[in-house]
Structure formats: structure tokens, C-alpha cells
Structure 1
Amino acid sequence: MQVIYKGKNKGRRLWLLLLLVLGGTPMAWAQRSAGLRGTVADSLSGQPLAGVSVGLLGQPGGTATDALGQFQLKNLVPGAYQLRVGALGYRLKSPRVTLLAGETRGLTITLAPTALDLAEVTVSQPRDLNQTLAAISHIDQTLRPINSAQDLLRLVPGLFIAQHAGGGKAEQIFIRGFDADHGTDFSVNIDGMPVNMVSHAHGQGYADFHFVIPETVEQLKIYKGPYTARFGDFATAGAGEFSTKTSLDRSQVKLEVGQYATRRALVLLDLLGTHHLLSKKPESAYVAAEYNFTNSYFDNPQHFKRFNGLAKYTGQLSDKTSLVLLSSHFQSSWDASGQIPERAVAEGLISRFGSIDPSEGGSTRRTNAYAILTTALPHDAVLRQQAYYSRYYFSLFSNFTFFKDNPINGDEINQQDTGRNVWGYTATYDRDDHLGPRNLHSTWGVGTRLDDGGLLLRHAVQRVPTDTLTTGRLHEQNVHAYLDETLDLTDRLSVNAALRADLFVFDFRGQITDSTGVLGPLRGRVNAARVSPKLNFYYQVSPAVQLFWRSGLGFHSNDARGVVRETNPAQALPRATGTEVGSTFKPVPALVVNAALWYLRLQNELVYSGDDGTTESVGATQRFGLDVSARYQLTPRFFLDADANYSHGRLLERAEYDNYIPLAPTFTSIGGLTYRQPNGLSASLRYRHIDSRPAVEDNSIRAHGYFLLDAVLSYTRPRYQVGASVQNLLNVNWNEAQFATTSQLRGETMPVTELNYTPGTPFYLKLNGSLFF
């Protein structure tokens, strides 16, 4: 008995020692039992505000409001405090509170919108540490003019896009040394719903963002690299997470007219105002619709038409529960001039804006619906559940090689998603805990996505299908789970560690042509899994300087048709290994800078070419680079911004000088000068630059770089707005999409490999006017 008694004393002494290490004696710890909790809401709409920074003036650390606008600060020494409550675009509030021992004070704080002041921007991210570009993206959303869904993608620092099918296809994406095609290595999400399409008829990860009405987008969060557990498939170079507005400040009718028979009409209509639908607490509902038409600048009129419609409800069902419902529909059709070979223009066969095969074009549509239920649970936890559904259709007629394979009728192909259903569910459980006196934030996440639909690849002549190359039914499912932990090791140093697991089921049942042109079976089922750990450190040197080091494993899935042909699970989910070190800092109050030195290695991958129905392994690749973004407020009315991005990439399994990654950007930069006057006048002059780069592995063919200037002018009053925008102000000739392609024109005896391109927009003027009510 005596031995056991001594063991108990020893255990107690060890426990007391642990308490001393973590924060002092139990008595001293108890004295720090005061606390604060509260809710932050928009003063106009009454809706809770998520992501608002809440801290104690003059002290490091702090927190941020959760999805329900709630916050808490625990383990405070009794005494007087002054809070700092702020978010970009809102007036800073600094209420004073006095806390007694054992007291937990409750606060309700409302923030009023105000003009942008970079001196009030904070570089710390107490809740979502992995969003190191938060300050930069918030500034861009406030300052940069947004006229289209393409402009939304350009808000991502370092991201360039290229359109090459009459405005109807998803843009080609370039970021961090990747020609990410239409989204293979960059994940795009809207309100938690994925935009990228797996095993798409035209390209893996195809992210058509045109179903989003730009005026309805409220927020953008940017994540570079594979360092965030919330994102799985396609998030190798990074991810963009867009959010639509919870409510409208006012209803709006907008008309736009421009060159080349361009017309656009927009309606935003607030449905509730001060009325209530499901509860007596703050709620909102609105509808939005837009119609676009243009013939564009090509010799062959584009006859581009697009319609978007959206309806959204957001409501507080109770103090602890909120509900979001959304439905949207999008449809588009167009004619395309396609990519043209340089020799056709040089020989005078067509102009820069001409077409070899004017029958190119396509149509697409997408219907979305989702419901989000967010609930506050005991123990300072929040449960967010989302269920979504999409119905998708896509048909594209293209001709890249002209008469190389069929000298009589041409090489036109038709790619189709013949009716895809996408079902999904995600749930996250967020909880704030303490490890001793240290804050610990935990997130558990689970989810699944199921894609089911038909895929078709055919030859065609003047949009009349002839023979079938590939046909079949896709059934692809992903199930994932992750645990994400963020611990404050000290008042300044935080560590974020996460582990994500993904399971994929690739199933395709169909047919494919062999080398003799005979249809044969293409059927198979492959299961593949990935475990992706993440480890990130953040050090808050001061309220104006944050350092970070991040690392993680990620992946992108490959096309199911190629996966079942290879039946190799290792090639189904090629791994990405990345790391970066950098800082977000303010050398002076009016200047915000983000800089990161990064490295990314991509494992051997299987690439599916939807244009001809074949697969190709390109082996391992390696990239490293430097990203720098700066935002500077020259005066209360003038703002400067600039992004510069350098990358160096190589194929690792090819000989030197034959190991360039085709179309991988080496240097890009974007920036501008913005003027904003309190009376409503604003103007912006912006530039875009991308360097020339290899188009083939041996660098014998190069894609041409360009430098463009755009301008925007607007005048806004409480009841109306008028404005104008100009693309390519200097009217320079530039190539938007570029590829090294082997093609053959009618009358040529041999195919030629050279640069084929889609010409970029010439000088393009567009006027707009809005009424608010």
C-alpha cells in the first residue's frame, strides 16, 4: 500500500509540473478565468459576419468570428480591456470592457461599411491561417472592377487565363508554372460547391465558371499550393473559394453595350426587404438574372448567347442555426473560329481573325441546387452541413488538325457530356478548445461526391456526326475525411497540422476504337486512395508582420477512361509534394506585401487527351518559383497594386534541353493604378504581362508573350451608376491561347508542326449604366 501511495504522489507531482509548464499553478490559472463572447453583424442587413478579426488592443493573438458571426476570448486576467474588431470594408470598432474574476461577458457588435483604408488592414489570420493572401484578396475585391466571370478568376494573384472557343468554353488556366489546362491543377469552388468536372469530355478538371453572375460574388479566399486539408482533388497549384452574397444592399438593373454587337442585361432583385419569410430573425432572399450576346471580333460572327439565373435565401432560424438555400441555371451556345496556324495568316489565306473551319462551336448548360445548415453546438462547436446537386450538359465541335487525318471531309470532332448528374455532401465540425492555456482549433471534415453520366467522342463534318471514337457511361465517386488542428504554441507562434484521406472509385463502361478504327470494349473499375498530410507554421512577429512556412502533399485525379485502360491505381492519383516559405507584412501602414518562395514536385501522371481519345504519361515534373504581391495606398484616393510571379519548371525524366514543360509560364505580372473619389468617381488603368515561353519540350517553338493595358471609368451615385471599360487600350496584336500543333491545310501534301493560336481581343469599348432601387 505504501508503494501505491507514493506512486499517486508522484503522479500528482508530475501533473502539477505539467500545469506549471503550460501556464502556472492551478490557482494562477483559475485567476485567468474571465472571458468574452459575442456576435458581430452587419449594421445594415443584420446578417452575422464571418471571419471578422477580434483581438485585444496592444496584445498579440486574437480570434475571428465563425460561420455564425460568433467569437470568444477565454482565460483572460480580470481587468479593463479595449477590443479591436475589424474587417476590410467595415469601420473599425474598439469597445472597452471591464471583466471581473469568473465573469464571461457577452457582447453584440455591429460594423458599418466604410471606405477602404489600407492603414487599418491587418496581416494576421487568427482563424484561417492557411489563407495567407487574405489581406491581398480583400483589397482586390474592393478596388478592382469586375465585369465578367473571367475577371473573377483574375482576382487570384498570379493566375492568367486564356479563352479559345468563342467565350463558351472554360478558360485555360496558368498559375505557378502550370498550364493547368481548364483546371487540372487548380481547384475552383463556389459556396462550397465544386466547379471542376472530373473525367470531363474536353479536359480533366474542367472548370467552367461562366454560370456565376459576377455581381453576386461577395468574397474570394485564395490558397496557393497543396497545404490546406479542406481541398483535395485538383488543389496542387492552389484553390480559389468564391462566396456569393448573403443579401443585397439594394436592387439593381444594369445594361451594357459594346463593340461587335455586344449586349448584356442584368437584374438583381431583393425579395424580402424588412419582411420575414421563415423566422423573425435576420433573413434575406434575392434573385439575379443576366443575358449576354456578342458576335465578338472574329471574321466569323460568334453568335454567342448566355443566360444565367439565380435565387438565394439566407436566414437565421434561431440564435444557433442558419439556413442557406440556392438554385441556379445557366445555358450558353456559340460559334467559334478556333485556333489558326501562323502560316495561314502569313500566306494570306485568312486574316488574324479568320477561321479555317467556321463550323466550330458548341453549347452547354448547368443547373445547380444546394442547402447549407449551420448549427452552433455545445462546447463552442459549429457544425456545417451542405448537400448539393448539379445537372450538366456539354457539346463541343472542334477542329485542331484541319485536314491531316481526313483530307476530304476534315478532322472535326464532337465531344459531349451527354447528361451528367453530380451529387455531393460535406460536413465540417469546428471546435475551439484549450490545451492548458493555449488555444486549440479543431476541424473534422467528411464528404462525398458522385458523378454519373454519359461521355461521347465522335468525328463530325460541319457539325454532323459521322463515326464514334469513344462512348460509354461514367460512374466516379470520391469519399474523403480529414482532421485539421491549429495550436497556438505561444502568443506569436502557431502550428497547423492536418491529415486528409481520399478514396476514389473509377468506373467506366463503354467502347473505344482501336488502331484499325473498330469499336471494342472499354470497361473497368479501379479503386485508388491517397493520404495527404499537411504541416504549416505561422509566426506573428508584430501586428504588421507574419512569417509562414508551409508544406503538404496533394494530388489531382486523372480521367477515368485512361485510368481503367491502365488499371494502375498509382497513376490514377498522381501525388504533388510542395513547400513554401514567405511573409505577409506592412513595411509602412499604407503598404501590404505578400512574398513566397515555393517548390512543387508532381509525380508521374497519366494525361487524357479528350481531343483524340488517347492517354500519355509525361513522367515526373518539378517546379520552383517566387510570388510577390504588393498593394499600396498612395493617398486617400490613389491605390497601386502589382503582382510578379516567376517560375522554373522541368520534366525530370527527359534529357537536358529536351525537358521544358510545354506552355508553362515563366514570368507573369499584373497590376494597376486605381483612383476612387468620395463623390462616386472612380477610374482604373491596369496592365497584364506574360513572358514568351516554350511550346514544346525542346523549346524549338515558343508561345509569344504580351503586354496589355485595360482601362475602366465609372461614376456612382445613390440611385444610378454609369461607366465605360476598354480592353487592349493600345490595340496591340497578341495571341490569347497558343499551342504547338501538327496540322494540315487543304491542298497541302504534308502536315506542318508550328504555333497555332487564337488571336486576343483588339481595342474593345463597352459602356454600362445601372439603376438602383
Structure 2
Amino acid sequence: MLACAGVAAEEAVQLSPVEVRAQTENLEGIATAGSAGVVSSQRLAAVPMLRPGEALEMVPGLIVTQHAGDGKANQYFLRGFNLDHGTDFATYVGGVPVNMPTHAHGQGYTDLNFLIPELVDRISFRKGPYYASEGDFSSAGAAHIDYRRRIDGTLAQLTLGQNGYARSLLASSPELAGGHLLYGLELFHNDGPWQVDEHYRKLNGVLSYSQGTRNNGFAITGMAYRGRWTSTDQIAQRAIDSGAVDRYGSLDSSTGGETQRYSLSGEWAKHWGKAQSRANVWWLQSNLDLWSNFQYCLNNGCPPGDQFKQSEHRQAGGFSASHAVFDNWAGFDVTNSFGLQTRVDRLSPVGLYATSNRETLSTIREDKVTQRSIGLWAQNETRWTDWFRSIQGLRADAYDFTVDASLRANSGRASDQMLTPKLSLVLGPWRKTELYFNYGHGFHSNDARGTTIRVDPADGVTPVSKVQPLVRTRGYEIGLRSEILPGWQSTVALWQLTAASELLFVGDAGTTEASRPSRRYGVEWTNLYVLSDWLALDADLAWSHARFRDHDPVVGDYIPGAVTGTANLGLTLDNLGPWYGALRLRYFGPRPLIEDNSVRSSASTLTNLRIGYKIDKRTQLALDVYNLFDRKVNDIEYWYCSRTAGEAANPAGCADGTAGGYDDRHIHPSEPRSFRLTVSHRF
């Protein structure tokens, strides 16, 4: 009997790293748009990821990259948007929002460096403003990342790689008082390929207690993350071409950052037979000190140079609740849902400072900000026939901002409200095929400081126009989901999205500003084909067209950073005896860098490889090779004005009138080919 129990325990801890057969999830009769989907933990586990944030690249059409040190939030691209560090794409982990409004560095800042991919259970994603339950930052899309409530056995994992890369992970979920106590502890260090060692140090942990399931149970989760790094930011192409700096060199070796994030959250769900209730409460404390230098010596000369520090100390909290009732009206099956969402952010302070070698020289602006929001939503889903259903919803949001600025003229209060209707029509299924028609309004909030500003904080005199607190977006979509052949799931989505005001990245300042109204449209084709229990293929292809709507024949109508084409192709192997593996190719298409499209970025294609071997049912080895073909491409490119140390002043100056500077391409290179070896053991 004991021998049998031992065999059963050993079988319980066996977990395939790929599990090809578990990669698909049937959304027939559930999804309300062709662009919505779920990424399973098994599919995520098969992907070699250079950075934690690249988990979001499993959202079809979404590109995740970096323009500075790896401790900083990634840069995201989707549906013709340069999302900067997260604006217009809402992200949640364990029910806690990741996007940070009125952030020191960028509106909607989304730092996913605290994510532990091995603990992710699934990623549920939606694109477009068609969902009543999605609010701020979700116009392009939203992703809800859920951690597991339990894992098999205890996982001990060690990864070693080039350039000082070392990562260790310990995770388990022992039974406790009728539930499970999930914990994960991650230690991390990396220098990267840069001539100035990144020396990125990360201490990261999660502790969660849960009972029941996500539909009928509860979970209490705490997370803690601290990171420090030295950053190699984007550098001027002319400095590389002249030999003044190496491709992996730096023009300011003291840039970088320090960050902390601590959160506590609770989730509760109850299934009542003909009803489903959910509630979530969360608290968050985060800090960031970020030193950057994008223009080098243009404004202040060298020394002291143009380095600046963006800093914030934030406490935030929120609550959400929803209730769905399943009923039958006059012979029609209906689901009526309604919900409430609230959030309060207090920043004390959020500031911008002139610095040199991380020493503060002066305060440009320093503010205390309180931002409050409340959202109410209601939705009705009616199944009119066995092949036709409609989902109609309405959302109401109200925002209030209080800004106490170091420059009194920029202090004040602002508020705004917005109603956003939603409608989806679903036809099918017919032979495992559904057709979707979607329409909806959405919005994004602007930085609170921009809603009360009156004068430029740099000189305290120059008048500056305020921005609207809430900016409306409007989207349309036609989608098709079908299982063309057994095991082949395919979706096609044709979409359009307009915005009343664009948030435009300004490379020379490292900030965003409200800009012109815009229109985007495009098509996405997503495929996952599980040919057998040992082979799966996936292909995500996307094309988009992005322009400003108010035609300007002088400046131009192109949206800087708006990507036209992307592709993510993958091959996954498992159950080949002890061997398993994955091969992934990512194509990141060219983008206009200025409004008249006279300067464009280059495209990039990167290929990553994983080869794994199961030593036994408990122990596995995996070798990851990043940038397999050692392509010399760029993660990011910008076009703006700068002047490097020792560089003679340009008599002509820059196109924007800045004296002495040079308009140039500024790049952050992709990392060269690198290797990482991981050993995992479950006990």
C-alpha cells in the first residue's frame, strides 16, 4: 500500500513543460469577439522568454520590447499603437491593476518585472472597447493574468546564463486548513551584454492562501518586489557610426533606476445556482526613482549634462464587485450583469528633477496628487435563438483630480465624467464557426498634472494648455472564429478604432503629451493547430493602418511609432521520449518616426529556441537560445534632437528650432545571441 502511495505521489509531481494537448481552450458559445482569447499555462510554459513582460507577447499582435534598462517597464505595441509603457492596454495580475495613472515616467506605466511566469495559470485577453467591465486604458485591449492556486509538488529551479545571468525560483502550495498556501520566491541578477554592466538585482515574492475555485471560493494574496539597475538607454546612431561609442555602449553610465512594489489583495466568488457574484479588494504601495538622459548635452552642456530624475511615491487602493443573474425572459435565456469599480491613487510626491550622475541639481516640478475614480456598468446578454445572441452594455465613469503643485499656478482640481455604450452580436455556432459584430466606446485618462497646468514648470511663465481629463475612443470590429480542421483553431478580426486625442511619445523629453485625433484600422489572423499529442503550430499575423484625422499637409498625418505589421510564429514539440522543445520567430515591422513619414525605423526579426530533456519524472533540463541567428537589429528606434559630449554645436540646429543640436535616429539594440541553461526539480 505504501509503495502504491509513493508511485502515486511521484506521478502527481510529473508536469510536462509543454503539454501540447492542453494548449487549446474551446471558446465556442462563450467569447463575444473574435479578438478575445485565453492563453493557457501550458502554452505559456513552452515559450522561451527573455524578460517576464514578454508573457504578453502571447496576446496575438502584441509586441513587447525595451528601450532602456530591464528594470524599467517594457514598451508595448498593438493595433497600430505605440503604447509607450502601457497606455491604452489595461493589465491586471491577480485582480490588481498594473497600469499606473499620473505616473512619473508615462501615463499608464505597466511594469511587469514582478511577474513570475511559472506561477501563471492563464492570461485572458480582450481587444477593443467592447466590454462594459473594462474601463481606463483598455481601448486597444486588456489582459487579466491569473496566478495558480496550487502547483504540483515543490518546484526548485535554477537558471544560469551569459553576462552574469542567474535566477533561482522556489515555489510550492502545501495544503493548509482546507485550502492551499501558494508561495514563490525569486532571486535574480543580470549584467546584460552592455559595456556598462546593468547589474540588475531583483528580489521578488508572492504568498497566497486560497480555498475553492475561481468561481466558488476565495484567495488572499500578497506580493513584494524590489529592483535596482544601471541602464544603457537609447543612443544616437551618429555616435555609433563615428566610433565614438560601441553599439552596446552608453552615453551616460549613471542612468538607471530603483523600484519597489508591494500589494495585498483579496478575491471572492460565489456561485448561487442561478447567479454568480464576485468581489475584489486591493491595496498597493509603489516607489520609483528613474534617472534618464535622452539628449545628453543639448540643453545644459557637459558637464552637467541633460540627465533628469523622475520619481514617485504612490499608495493606491481599489474595490470591485459584480453580480450576474441567469434567467429566462419570455422563453429567451438571458444573463444580466452589473458591477462597481473604484480606485484612489495618492502620490506624495511625484516629481521631475534636473540631475547629474544621479545627484539632484534642481527641482523642475514636484507635486502631490490625489486621483479618484468610480465606474458603474451594466450588461445584458440575450440568447434569441440557438444561433444568435446579443450583448449590450453601458458604462459610466467619473474621475476627480486634485493637484498640489510646487508652482502654485499649476495647482487645482479637475473632474470629468463619461458614458460609454457597448454592443456585440454573435451568430453561430455553425459547424464550430461563430461570427461576431462588435461596437463600443471607451476612453483613456490623461495625467492629472496636465488637467490643471497653466504655465510651463521649466520657466514658470510660458502659458501651457490644459488637457481633457478623459479622452473618448470608439471602435468597430467584425470577427470570425472557426475550427477549420480538428485541432486547428483560427480567428480573423477586422477592426477600426478612433481616438479624440492621441497620446504621443516625445523622445527628447521621455514623456507623453496629448496630441491630435487619430484613426486606426487593420486585420488580425490568429491560428493554433495541434496536429498531434507531440506537435503544435501557432501563427499570429497582424496588419494596421494609423493616421491622424485632422489632415496637416505641412507636418504630416503619420503617427510616430505606429507599427504596420507584426508576426509571431511558433512550433512546439513534446512527448518525444524525454525530449521537448519550442521554436519561435517574432517579426516587428517598420514604423514612421516622424509625422511626414520621411524617416522610418527598420524592421526586426528575432528567433528564440528551447531544447529540453526530462531526466526523470521530477527533473528536467532546458537550454534557451535567444536571438538564435545573432541578428544585429534594434529593439526600438526614435528620431529627435540631441548633442553628445564633445560634439561641436550644429549651426543649423534642429528642425524644431533647438539651437546647436542634431536631428538623428536614436536606437536601443536587441541583445545578441545568448544562452541560458535551466535545471528544474520537483519534490
CA contact (8 A) 1:413 1:611 kept: no
Say whether 1:772 aligns with 2:667: no
Residues 547 and 138 (structure 1 numbering): CA distance in 2 closer, same or farther, change over 3 Å? Answer: farther
Say whether 1:731 aligns with 2:627: no
Say whether 1:387 aligns with 2:291: no
Residue in 2 that maps onto 1:400: 294
Equivalent-residue separation in structure 2 for 1:387 and 1:497 (angstroms): 27
Residues 682-740 of structure 1: per-residue CA shift (max 9 Å, x gap):
11111111122211101122111111111011123421111010110111101112111
Equivalent-residue separation in structure 1 for 2:74 and 2:612 (angstroms): 27
TM-score of the pair, normalised by structure 2: 0.90
CA contact (8 A) 2:451 2:467 kept: no
Aligned residues: CA RMSD: 2.6
Say whether 1:705 aligns with 2:603: yes
Say whether 1:695 aligns with 2:583: no
Residues 46-67 of structure 1: per-residue CA shift (max 9 Å, x gap):
xxxxxxxxxxxxxxxxxxxxxx
CA contact (8 A) 2:475 2:496 kept: yes
Say whether 1:547 aligns with 2:435: yes
The one of 537, 541, 549 equivalent to 1:640 is 537
Equivalent-residue separation in structure 2 for 1:493 and 1:446 (angstroms): 28
In the TM superposition, residue 292 of structure 1 has moved relative to its aligned partner by 0.9
CA contact (8 A) 1:471 1:511 kept: yes
SS in 2 for 1:574: strand
Residue in 2 that maps onto 1:523: 411
Name structure 2 gaps, 5 residues minimum: 1-7, 10-14, 455-463, 651-660
Name structure 1 gaps, 5 residues minimum: 1-42, 45-89, 91-111, 513-519
Say whether 1:594 aligns with 2:594: no
Equivalent-residue separation in structure 1 for 2:182 and 2:667 (angstroms): 42
Residues 376-433 of structure 1: per-residue CA shift (max 9 Å, x gap):
34x622221111000000010000000000113100000001x210110000111111
Say whether 1:740 aligns with 2:634: no
Residues 636 and 284 (structure 1 numbering): CA distance in 2 closer, same or farther, change over 3 Å? Answer: same
Residue in 1 that maps onto 2:381: 486
The one of 185, 191, 194 equivalent to 1:298 is 194
SS in 2 for 1:712: strand
Residues 216 and 669 (structure 1 numbering): CA distance in 2 closer, same or farther, change over 3 Å? Answer: same
Equivalent-residue separation in structure 2 for 1:383 and 1:141 (angstroms): 29
SS in 2 for 1:241: strand
Structure with bigger RCO (C-alpha 8 Å, 6+ apart) = 2
Residue in 1 that maps onto 2:266: 371
Say whether 1:218 aligns with 2:115: no
CA contact (8 A) 1:470 1:613 kept: no
Residue in 1 that maps onto 2:460: none
Residues 116 and 448 (structure 1 numbering): CA distance in 2 closer, same or farther, change over 3 Å? Answer: same
SS in 1 for 2:385: coil
What code does the residue aligned with 1:693 have?
Answer: R
Deviates more, 1:700-709 or 1:361-370: 700-709
Deviates more, 1:482-491 or 1:568-577: 568-577
CA contact (8 A) 1:203 1:610 kept: no
In the TM superposition, residue 677 of structure 1 has moved relative to its aligned partner by 1.5
Residues 12-41 of structure 1: per-residue CA shift (max 9 Å, x gap):
xxxxxxxxxxxxxxxxxxxxxxxxxxxxxx
Deviates more, 1:632-641 or 1:238-247: 632-641
The one of 619, 624, 640 equivalent to 2:516 is 619
Residues 195 and 628 (structure 1 numbering): CA distance in 2 closer, same or farther, change over 3 Å? Answer: same
Structure ID, larger Rg: 1
TM-score of the pair, normalised by structure 1: 0.80
Equivalent-residue separation in structure 2 for 1:146 and 1:297 (angstroms): 16
Counterparts of 1:644-655 in structure 2 under 5 Å?
Answer: 644-655=541-552
Residues 687 and 175 (structure 1 numbering): CA distance in 2 closer, same or farther, change over 3 Å? Answer: same
Residue in 1 that maps onto 2:476: 579
CA contact (8 A) 1:479 1:504 kept: yes
What code does the residue aligned with 2:237 have?
Answer: E
Residues 588 and 390 (structure 1 numbering): CA distance in 2 closer, same or farther, change over 3 Å? Answer: same
Residues 588 and 381 (structure 1 numbering): CA distance in 2 closer, same or farther, change over 3 Å? Answer: same
The one of 666, 670, 675 equivalent to 1:760 is 670
Equivalent-residue separation in structure 2 for 1:619 and 1:568 (angstroms): 14
What code does the residue aligned with 1:708 have?
Answer: L
SS in 1 for 2:55: helix
Residue in 2 that maps onto 1:22: none
SS in 2 for 1:541: coil
Equivalent-residue separation in structure 2 for 1:466 and 1:683 (angstroms): 52
Equivalent-residue separation in structure 2 for 1:244 and 1:263 (angstroms): 23
In the TM superposition, residue 605 of structure 1 has moved relative to its aligned partner by 4.5
Residues 86-113 of structure 1: per-residue CA shift (max 9 Å, x gap):
xxxx9xxxxxxxxxxxxxxxxxxxxx99
Number of residues of Structure 1 aligned to a counterpart in Structure 2: 647
Say whether 1:510 aligns with 2:408: no
The one of 346, 350, 357 equivalent to 2:245 is 350
The one of 597, 613, 618 equivalent to 1:719 is 618
Counterparts of 1:140-289 in structure 2 under 5 Å?
Answer: 140-141=43-44, 143-145=46-48, 148-272=51-175, 276-277=176-177, 279=178, 283-289=179-185
The one of 113, 122, 133 equivalent to 2:26 is 122
Residue in 2 that maps onto 1:314: 210
Equivalent-residue separation in structure 2 for 1:137 and 1:131 (angstroms): 17
Residues 699 and 255 (structure 1 numbering): CA distance in 2 closer, same or farther, change over 3 Å? Answer: same
The one of 414, 438, 442 equivalent to 2:336 is 442
Residue in 2 that maps onto 1:61: none
Equivalent-residue separation in structure 2 for 1:736 and 1:284 (angstroms): 41
SS in 2 for 1:124: coil
Counterparts of 1:73-112 in structure 2 under 5 Å?
Answer: none
What code does the residue aligned with 1:587 have?
Answer: I
Paired-residue identity, %: 29
Equivalent-residue separation in structure 1 for 2:623 and 2:17 (angstroms): 26
Residues 261 and 614 (structure 1 numbering): CA distance in 2 closer, same or farther, change over 3 Å? Answer: closer
